[in-house]
């Protein structure tokens, strides 16, 4: 029999309202006791006495046994979530930055205090990838988890590639629709995807990795010449985070644009949709597809976690329990496309091999092999030149 959840909700934005709408359509044993907000003057459809600006009114209420955290501030979210877990309250969160940066601490709090933190909505919106990594693939050998984890950047790339919009016009449309923030760096710079793939790696490989160690280069330097190159090859450009086993003991994790071939599942993932590819030893390749943004899609993932808490569900982090642990390693050799503006710029990067090169008065590009660690070391050089780098998908051993 399910237990009653008395809920304290932090944040009543797009996802919070979507979650509340979904909860009204379901006859479950739960009640929203209080909702914490920042702006008490903002007009809302619910009674005023349901809202508060005092977080402690929720956190110290002994009747509230469940916290749902849906705010943007990662530091404030950590304070809320860590306090709740250490004081007997279960938590559902969708704050990928906070979770990725503090996951090892949050897992320790759960073990020590017998509480549960669930966060399906933090990774790829409505796609149930965390629960599947945790449950379905718990005894599976996973070779790679990758995909399109950020709906904002994918929306921009879809508009640019399919409708010939300029990058700036596509970005503005994404902002107008609420898919991208006023400062879009988190999305187009690959930071959002980095936090998400760090969380996925914990469940896929039992590896808790500081996201600061994960190399991320986004799509902010995309130019028409890059689109022309992809079109000539019959490919599309997508921003793809990757967590991939190099051998029995090492995993590489990174975020880069990728030249996606037609036979790749990701080729047809457009607009704000996400797609996650799992390559496994026994199940082979499987693909998850769904909306990665929006109030109701993300709210549905949050609601699934809330429902699971009625039966005291918690992640077991099963891959962390295996005897042979894996380590993070960024020594993988990638084949990349590098378009650059400054003549001779390519000589600043330690390419192992140059397979193809092109030069004109307007721009230059090379296709070559280079270590992931060397790309990471040259990240600022690449971005400052206005260069664009993409994984060709032709992997090296």
Q: Could you tell me the two tokens for 341?
A: 């503006």
Confirm whether 123 is domain-assigned: yes
Same domain, 310 and 346: no
Query: In the prediction, which pLDDT does 28 show?
Result: 82
Confirm whether 218 is domain-assigned: no
If you write DSSP's letter for every residue of 340-392 in order, what string do you get? ESSTTGGGGS--SEEEEEEE-SS-EEEEEEEEHHHHHHTHHHHHHHT-EEEE-
Confirm whether 177 is domain-assigned: no
Distance CA 285, CA 282 (A): 9
Same domain, 303 and 344: no
Strands, E assignment, the chain: 5-10, 30-36, 51-52, 66-69, 90-93, 117-118, 142-148, 215-216, 236-245, 250-260, 273-280, 284-291, 327-328, 333-340, 353-359, 364-371, 388-391
Query: In the prediction, which pLDDT does 41 show?
Result: 86
Confirm whether 113 is domain-assigned: yes
Residue 385 domain boundaries:
333-397
Does residue 220 contact residue 168 with C-beta atoms inside 8 Å?
Answer: no
Query: In the prediction, which pLDDT does 1 show?
Result: 60
Distance CA 6, CA 355 (A): 61
Catalytic residue status for 318: no
220-229 average pLDDT score: 96
Tell me the whole-structure pTM to 2 decimals. 0.95
134-139 average pLDDT score: 91
pLDDT range class, residue 397, cuts 50, 70, 90: very low
**Digit-coded pLDDT (tens) for 387-396:** 999 999 886 5
- Per-residue pLDDT at 212 exceeds 90: yes
Which 3 state secondary structure label does DSSP give 13?
Answer: coil
Assign residue 358 the CATH number of its domain.
3.30.70
Last residue of a domain, one of 321, 355, 378: 321
As for how many domains the chain has, the answer is: 2
**Digit-coded pLDDT (tens) for 72-110:** 999 999 999 999 999 999 999 999 999 999 999 999 999
Confirm whether 220 is domain-assigned: no
Query: In the prediction, which pLDDT does 102 show?
Result: 98
Confirm whether 189 is domain-assigned: no
Same domain, 302 and 393: no
Q: C-alpha distances in angstroms, 278 versus 46, 129, 156, 202, 268? A: 42, 10, 24, 14, 17
Distance CA 236, CA 261 (A): 7
Confirm whether 171 is domain-assigned: no
Does residue 301 contact residue 158 with C-beta atoms inside 8 Å?
Answer: no
| Marked catalytic residue, from 34, 96, 97, 196 | 196
Same domain, 363 and 300: no
Distance CA 155, CA 8 (A): 33
**Digit-coded pLDDT (tens) for 33-68:** 999 999 988 888 899 999 999 999 999 999 999 999
Assign residue 82 the CATH number of its domain.
3.40.50.720
Does residue 346 contact residue 366 with C-beta atoms inside 8 Å?
Answer: yes
- Per-residue pLDDT at 122 exceeds 70: yes
| DSSP summary character for residue 216 | E
- Bridge partners of residue 251, in order along the sequence: 245, 328
């Amino acid at each position: 029999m399910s237990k009653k959840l008395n809920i304290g909700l932090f944040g009543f934005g797009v996802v919070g309202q979507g979650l509340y709408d979904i909860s009204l359509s379901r006859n479950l044993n739960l009640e929203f006791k209080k909702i914490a907000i920042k702006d008490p003057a903002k007009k809302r459809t619910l009674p005023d006495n349901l809202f508060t600006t005092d977080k402690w009114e929720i956190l110290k209420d002994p009747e509230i046994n469940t916290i749902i955290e849906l705010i943007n501030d990662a530091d404030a979210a950590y304070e809320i979530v860590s306090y709740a877990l250490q004081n007997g309250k279960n938590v559902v969160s969708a704050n990928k930055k906070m979770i990725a940066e503090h996951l090892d601490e949050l897992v320790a709090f759960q073990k020590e205090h017998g509480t549960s933190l669930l966060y399906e909505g933090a990774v790829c919106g409505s796609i149930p990838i965390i629960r599947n990594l945790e449950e379905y693939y718990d005894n599976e050998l996973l070779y790679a988890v990758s995909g399109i984890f950020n709906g904002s950047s994918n929306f921009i790339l879809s508009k640019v590639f399919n409708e010939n919009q300029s990058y700036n016009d596509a970005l503005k449309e994404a902002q107008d629709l609420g898919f991208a923030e006023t400062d879009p760096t988190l999305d187009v710079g690959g930071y959002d995807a980095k936090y998400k793939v760090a969380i996925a790696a914990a469940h896929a490989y039992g590896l808790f990795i500081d996201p600061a160690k994960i190399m991320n280069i986004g799509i902010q330097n995309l130019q028409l010449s890059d689109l022309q190159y992809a079109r000539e090859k019959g490919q599309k450009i997508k921003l793809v985070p990757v967590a991939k086993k190099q051998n029995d003991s090492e995993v590489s994790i990174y975020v880069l644009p990728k030249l996606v071939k037609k036979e790749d599942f990701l080729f047809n993932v457009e607009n704000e949709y996400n797609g996650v590819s799992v390559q496994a030893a026994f199940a082979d390749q499987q693909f998850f597809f769904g909306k990665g943004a929006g109030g109701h899609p993300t709210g549905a993932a949050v609601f699934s976690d809330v429902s699971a808490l009625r039966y005291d569900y918690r992640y077991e982090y099963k891959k962390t329990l295996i005897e042979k642990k894996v380590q993070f390693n960024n020594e993988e050799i990638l084949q990349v496309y590098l378009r650059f503006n400054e003549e001779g710029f390519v000589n600043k990067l330690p390419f192992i091999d140059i397979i193809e090169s092109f030069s004109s008065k307007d721009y230059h590009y090379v296709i070559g092999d280079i270590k992931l660690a060397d790309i990471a070391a040259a990240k600022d050089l690449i971005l400052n030149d206005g260069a664009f780098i993409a994984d060709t998908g032709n992997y090296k051993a």
